[in-house]
Amino acid sequence: MQTDNKKPGKLLAVVNIITILAVLFGGAAYLIFLPHETVAEDENRRLASFPEFSPKSYIDGSFTGGIADYFDDTVHGRDRIKKFIAADITPLKGRKYGGDEDGAELYGIAFEHSEETPAVTTAAATTAAVTHTTVSSPAVQTTAVTTAPIPAEEPAAEGGEINSNILVVNKRGLPLYPGGDVQGYADTINEYKKKLGDVNVWSMVVPTAGGLYIPSNYKSLAVDEKKDIDAIAAALEGAVPVDAYTSLAAHKSEDIYARTDHHWMALGAFYAAKAFTEAAGLPFKELSEYEELHLHDYLGTFYGYTQSPTLLNNPEEFVYYRPKNEVTVDQYDTSFRDPLDVALLVPSDNMTPSGYYYVFGMDNRIAHVHTKTGNGRKLVIFKDSYGNALLPFLTYSFEDIYLCDMRYFDLNAVSFIKQVKATDVLFSMCTFSATGPNLNCLKADMYK
């Protein structure tokens, strides 16, 4: 009887061993012999490559660690696996935020901001109305401008999820603005104005989509971008604030920001450019003077950051506009050398949907656009990646435009502005850049 009882147990043990070995050898064969992917189109990046061996890399562990990274990053069918994880595994993680009724999922770091506790550094009081000077030509005229009333806030929403400080709600990704050094940005722009003298200096701090679309029941998770923008405007001395917020808020029902990406759409840049040219007293053309172009199934950076199934299942249309006027464009390196004759907009033929924003060009360059406007106005723009989408809409307003990214600029900014004989300088960037770490780049550019 004892012998008979042991036989099923031995058989089960053999089956378990065979199963485990099959899984191990099958998985090894899957990783080793099937083709490895090299590019992640949804993340717009190249995947890890197999590391080169050296005694040093083996001893310090970077070689074996690199092998692990290679197999982890380039597994065959990674896109299908990621979609499975995003759709079926990720929703099982996280914790509820806001109670069972709301159903929001909290993943990354997020924290509530108290209205009683100052969330930003500022020496100037936030005001509901902003008075500033308006320039209609190289000569300055003084005009009182009052910011329009803030539109009604977004209604409360259900079913949101938070991942890596990004709120995904209403099929839209929203960055959660943490606040920053408001006074530091204003002081930096004021210092540029002092060094530049008669040059017209403009500051256009642009809200992110979170500043316009965050639902009322999530507002405590972010600092109010409108308050910080108004505080900056109030603290400027000599430099002129441009109120892009009011223009954008008036059109928030339109597709002015990407839902799946942290950038605005070209239409948002159009309205901001219009606000700038009106403040500067310059001509501006409506969209009828542009060719409207469409790219389909855009899935931008928010999906890459969050792997949200909501965003994955709701790609969007990428719409941008090509001006019909004749322009010439020279592209330089970040030291203003080695010019190349290029197109104003980059052809999209070889772009993947996650890279459509690159139709406006890369950040690590200086671009010089010459138009036939013939009004003698020369503009230098210091910007983050938001500023790329502004460029096409200013080609009817300025004779020359120099587009410079503050993060990739290897010259003294003040000397450069004087070298190209600029009549106007526009500092245009989103709130994260103006008051966050990129502010250090803007400061450093004055002293290189």
Instruction: Assess whether pLDDT exceeds 70 at residue 381.
Output: yes
Q: 75-89, 369-383, 414-428: which has the minimum mean pLDDT?
A: 75-89
Measured CA to CA in angstroms, residue 43 lies from 4, 165, 319, 377 at distances of 58, 18, 20, 39
Average pLDDT over residues 324-340: 96
Q: Is the pLDDT of residue 48 over 60?
A: yes
Nearest to 119 by CA among 226, 210, 207: 226
pLDDT band at 86 (very low <50, low <70, confident <90, very high): low
Q: Which residue has the higher pLDDT, 315 or 108?
A: 315
Q: Round the average pLDDT of the chain to a whole number and report it.
A: 82
pTM of structure: 0.73
pLDDT at residue 342 in the model = 96
Q: What is the pLDDT of residues 178-189, one digit of tens each?
A: 999 999 999 999
Domain boundaries, the chain: 2-88, 96-444
pLDDT at 192 over 90: yes
Task: State the virtual CA torsion across 302, 304, 307, 312 in degrees, nearest 10.
Answer: 70
pLDDT number for residue 161: 67
Whether pLDDT at 366 is above 80: yes
Q: What percentage of the chain reaches a pLDDT higher than 90? A: 58
pLDDT for residue 25: 80
At residue 41, the pLDDT reads: 53
Q: Is the pLDDT of residue 191 over 90?
A: yes
Q: Which amino acid is at 297?
A: D
- The pLDDT tens digits of the residues spanning 288-319 come to 999 999 999 999 998 888 888 889 999 999 99
Residue, of 12 and 198, whose pLDDT is higher: 198
Q: Which of these ranges, 12-26, 210-224, 397-411, has the smallest mean pLDDT?
A: 12-26
How far apart, in whole angstroms, are the C-alpha atoms of residue 346 and residue 298? 16
Among 51-60, 116-125, 143-152, 168-177, name the one with the lowest average pLDDT.
Answer: 116-125
Measure the CA angle with vertex 150, ends 149 and 151; round to 5°: 110
What average pLDDT does this structure show over 419-427? 98
Q: How much is the average pLDDT of 273-292?
A: 97
| Res. 101: pLDDT tops 60 | no
For 244, residues 6+ apart whose C-beta sits below 8 A from its C-beta are 204, 205, 206, 207, 271, 272, 275, 276
**Residue 14: its pLDDT value, please?**
79
- Phi, psi of 218, rounded to the nearest 5 degrees: -115, 0
- State how far Cα 265 lies from the chain centre: 11
The pLDDT tens digits of the residues spanning 146-169 come to 344 455 578 877 666 666 689 999
